[in-house]
Amino acid sequence: MVSTVRLSDDAHATAWRAMTVLTKDYGRFTVATVAALTPQASYPAIAEWHGWLAREMIVSAEGPAWRVEVSGEAPPRNRGTNGRGSQQQRQIWTAMRALRAFSATDLVEAATTDVCEVTALAVARFVRALEQVGYLQRAGDRLRLPPGKDTGPRAPIPLSGGGIFDLNLGQTVNPNNLRGRS
């Protein structure tokens, strides 16, 4: 889905800070409260980003309110891909975690579902991003996800400028500054 509302860098940082502080101090927050604490953004922009955070399992429902599940840096505003591409990345990551050692073809087969077909191109792009930051090891045409790089159930987000955002760790990992766990 292409949005007509955008969240500025300042609003993005302010909204994330509000969500994390409210979760830490009160155990929960509402989207309306975060929007009220983010004067640089409209409610629809905050609500749209919040919806993305919920789909990515960064926030979870706490009764009628929400709570942040992964603290750290503010997650990106989105995956930078269409809804199908996002789903493909989630399915590929799940397959990698289950298989541990695999080829690109193995990933296409294991990650494809009746609801969302995973393409070889999607696998190649996601694998390239994870290899660049050391999350995957290659031996010929076989790849391996080392146990220390299996950071959790949330699929990392490839960043347009290189590197990834690891949603499980709440941090950016890039090829010039490897900060992920070994």
Question: pLDDT tens for residues 22-62?
Answer: 999 999 999 999 999 999 999 999 999 999 899 889 999 98
Q: What's the rounded mean pLDDT across residues 96-119?
A: 95
What type of residue is 69? E
| 180: region left, alpha or beta (phi > 0 left; psi from -120 to 50 alpha) | beta
- Write down the number of H helices and E strands in the chain: 6, 8
Q: Has residue 2 got a pLDDT over 70?
A: no
CA 55 to chain centre: 9
Q: Is 149 exposed, middle or buried (0-12, 13-18, 19+ CB in 10 A)?
A: buried
For 139-167, the pLDDT digits (tens) are 999 999 998 999 999 999 999 888 999 99
Q: Is the pLDDT of residue 70 over 60?
A: yes
Token pair in block for residue 142: 């076989």
What whole-number distance in Å separates Cα of residue 58 and Cα of residue 56?
A: 6
Average pLDDT across the chain, whole number? 90
- Measuring CA to CA, which residue among 128, 135, 133 is closest to residue 177? 133
Give the pLDDT band (50/70/90) at residue 82: low
More confident residue, 85 or 130: 130
- pLDDT at residue 1, rounded to an integer: 43
Query: CA–CA separation, 52 vs 1, rounded Å?
Result: 11
Question: Cβ(14)–Cβ(37) under 8 Å?
Answer: yes
For residues 117-128, average pLDDT: 96
* Total Cβ atoms within 10 A of residue 9: 10
Confidence label for 94 from pLDDT (cuts 50, 70 and 90): very high
Phi, psi at 82, each rounded to 5°: -70, 170
